[in-house]
Structures are given as C-alpha cells and as structure tokens.
Homo-oligomer: A and B are copies of this chain.
Amino acid sequence: MLSQEEKQYALKKYIEFLQHPSVSATGEGIRDTASWLKDFMTELGIDSTIEDTGGHPVVLGKVNNGGDKTLLVYNHYDVQPVDPLNEWKYPPFSATIENNVVYARGASDNKGVLIARLIAFSKYKGNLNFKFLFEGEEEIGSVHLSEYVEKHKEKLNADAVIMEGAGLDAKGRPMIILGVKGLLYVQLTVRTGDRDVHSSNAPIVFNPVWELIKILNSIYDGEKVKLKGFYDDIEPINAEIKELLEKYDVDPEDIRKSLGVFKLKTSDIKSLFTVPTCNIDGIISGYTGKGSKTIVPSYAMVKMDFRLVPNQDPKKILSSLIDHIKDKAQIEVMGMEKPVRTSPNSNVVKAMINSAKRVYLNDPVIIPNSAGTQPMGVFADLGIKEIVSAIGVGTPSSNAHAPNENVNLENFYKAIEHAYEFYNEYEKLNK
C-alpha cells in the first residue's frame, strides 16, 4: 500500500506530466516534455538521455541493480491531438481533478502508466536491472522506432519487455495481453488513363473501379484470403492458449453495442484474437459529391490492412501479394508489424498474474494476443522472448483518443502497486 506522502508525490508528478502538451501529430510540446521526463528520471536516479531518432526523440533510461535479469519498460510520452476541443469539459492540458478523476489528454494513454511504473521503480529495492524506453511517436505509428531499436540493439537488450499497458476491463479486472496481431497495410492503385472521361465511353474504356474490384475479389472471397501461402505459417492454438480463450467471457451483444454496429458477423468474439483478416480501410474513385456526374474515372485507390496471427510473416505475405497482383495495380506499403505471442508459462506472464491477483484481489483477464497491434514485433526482433502488455490505469470509459480522456486516481495508485509487486515478483521467479 502507498503512504499518503507517496500518493501525493506520485499525483504531483502525474499532473505535471499531463500539463506538458506532447502532441506527436503536430509536434506541439514534444521536446519540452521529453526534457521534463529526462529530468524526472534523473531525479529518480535513472541514467537518462534524450536520443535522436530522426523524428521525435526517445527518452532512454538505464539502471544497473546488479542482478542477472534486465526488464525493458516501454511506454510513450506522446499523445493524440485534442480535437474536437469544444467537447472537452476542461482544457485538455489543465489536468483538472473532479471527484477523484483526472481529466487530461494522455491521462490514460499513456502518461498515467508511464508515471506509475517510474514511481513503482523509485520504491523498488531489489536487484532487477531496468531499461526504460519512452517513445515520442507511438500515436503517429512509431515511425522511427523499429529503425532506432535495430540501430541500438546492444543498448536495448533485455530478458523481458513490458509494453504500454493494457488497463482494466469493464468489470474492473486487470488485463494481461500476451502478444499482438501483426499487420500488413498496403495501398493499391489502378490507373487506366490520364484523366476521367465521359461515361458514354464505358463500352470501350476500362473502368478502374471494376478492375480494382476484380483484384480485390481475387485476394479475398468474403470468407478466406486467397493469397498463396497466407495461412501456411499460422501457429496452431496449443492447449495453454485454448484454455485462455475458453476463459474469455464477453457478451457479444455488449460488444456489438459498444461498437455501434447493426449486426455482428459472428458471435464468436474470440475470433478477434485467432482469425487473420483482410480489411478495407478506405476506397475512392471518381465523383463522390452530391448529385450525379457521368464519368469513367481515371484511377481507383484502396487502402487495406491484413491483421496477422502468430507466426504469419508480414514480409512473406507482402511478397505473396506482389506476386499475386503483378502489374495489375501499383502497391504502396504503409505498415508492417510482426505478430507476437508470449507463452502463458513464461516468468514475465506468471509474475504479472501473481502480482495482479495480489493488488486487485481478482483474477486478471488474460488474452493470448491483442486484436490490434503494438510495436511488440520490434522487440521480438531483438530476440526477446518474454513480451507482455499489462499494468494500466485506463478503463473502457477512459476515452483514450477522445475528448474528456480521464483516469480515476484510485486506478492510478493501483497501477503503481501493481508495477511494484510485478518488479518484485519477476525478480523472485527468476531466482
């Protein structure tokens, strides 16, 4: 349990951090915040530097406590833009507290978790070594992270990584996420001419939308992805993972409502974690304004993402896609992330479960891999086998990425305790 003084100190630092804008999309306050963070880490006795990445800097910290094991703590100090500003009840960087809830951009995603982990570190007396990697570009897609990590392999080596933090579910249970789905994001463009032509020419000219639809049909048939080898490398669901999935209990109707969709494609919500997808994020061609305009457009463009399950390789799938499309469309690659899945029997996961139970007096919700992505693959590429996303301050009503982002301060203090217990537990299990 935290003392009143410890809580006051933690809250003071949390509020200070929240009052530093750090919007990666615009660059607002990024350097200032990085500098504030480095100073705070130095104050805690962490050997800290601001590191150039080619984009927004990384704040890196290192502590050698003399043990055999090193934990890499990954968070990000950047936040999403604040618009629509007029929907906020308090200015987004005022960090106003009302009824023990703090309202601020970044309160949940990701400044609360970052501070909680640092405060927990400042209490920790064991021999576990620490590395802190605090990124400034997570909200714009971790543009330079993989390049930076690749370049500083030696510096970043560790036995385990704890990622951003998974927060609490709607029932207040801490979530532990053992991995992530991978991603391949591409943009395909079909161009059939220099300019749109009158649609009276439809009998004799190619329509790029029909051509694109032909390609899309050949990639996905509504059920299965038809790219050669797409399903070949998928890691079978083993008994441990099966057990986790069986415990995963959510009501499809709750999910449907929370997403605001009219119907679910399936009531098997577990497919979020186990089924790779081929999704269309956007498509555009021709005239899309009011009324009618009769043209055969000159090009059509689609953006699509493939979400991949553990052991699918985005690079292999990209080359299968390129072979498949040949010169029928121009392909632009806009993102690739490897899927990751850490064993539920690994020490990092066991330590996370044990410490969560101790702090929350409740069984954590364990998810074999998130449905979305985090840059876990970057760390998996370093050869690190134990990567987990857990310890969070947010709940589904924390409005991450939305107006009135907020965190209940009790959840912030609990996260400090969870991090503290986890550090000790992880040290113990590795003895």
Contact = CB atoms under 8 A, between A and B. Distances in A.
A292 B284 CA distance: 14
A155 interface: no
B286 A283 contact: yes
A269 B204 CA distance: 7
A199 B283 contact: no
Contacts of A272: 200-201, 203-204
A199 B265 contact: no
Contact of A372 (B198, B222, B283, B300): B198
Given A193-B262, A205-B265, A272-B204, A288 B282 contact: yes
Contact of A334 (B191, B213, B292, B370): B292
Contacts of A209: 280, 283, 302
Nearest to A289: B282
Contacts of A275: 203
Chief secondary structure at chain A's binding surface: mixed
A202 B262 contact: no
Contacts of A259: 193, 197, 201, 205
A155 to B, nearest CB: 29
A207 interface: yes
A429 interface: no
Given A260-B194, A286-B282, A265 B204 contact: yes
Contact of A255 (B204, B210, B220, B222): B204
Interface in A270-315: 271-272, 274-275, 277-288, 291-298, 300-303, 305, 307
Nearest to A401: B198
A264 interface: yes
Nearest to A370: B200
Chain A interface extent, by class: 35 or more
A146 interface: no
Given A199-B307, A216-B213, A294-B305, A207 B261 contact: no
A195 interface: yes
Contacts of A90: none
A214 interface: yes
Q: Within the oligomer, what is the number of copies of this chain?
A: 2
A293 B264 contact: no
A106 to B, nearest CB: 19
B294 A281 contact: yes
A218 to B, nearest CB: 12
Given A213-B217, A216-B213, A206 B283 contact: no
A396 interface: no
Nearest to A297: B282
Given A259-B197, A260-B194, A260-B195, A295 B281 contact: yes
A341 B416 CA distance: 81
Contacts of A264: 204-205
B287 A207 contact: no
Nearest to A292: B334
Given A280-B207, A283-B284, A288-B284, A200 B261 contact: no
A412 B7 CA distance: 89
Given A203-B271, A281-B292, A293-B303, 14 more contacts: A141-B291, A191-B262, A193-B261, A199-B305, A200-B371, A201-B259, A202-B277, A203-B265, A210-B280, A213-B216, A281-B294, A286-B303, A292-B303, A292-B305
14 contacts: A141-B291, A141-B292, A192-B261, A193-B262, A194-B261, A197-B261, A199-B307, A201-B272, A203-B271, A205-B261, A282-B285, A283-B286, A284-B284, A294-B372
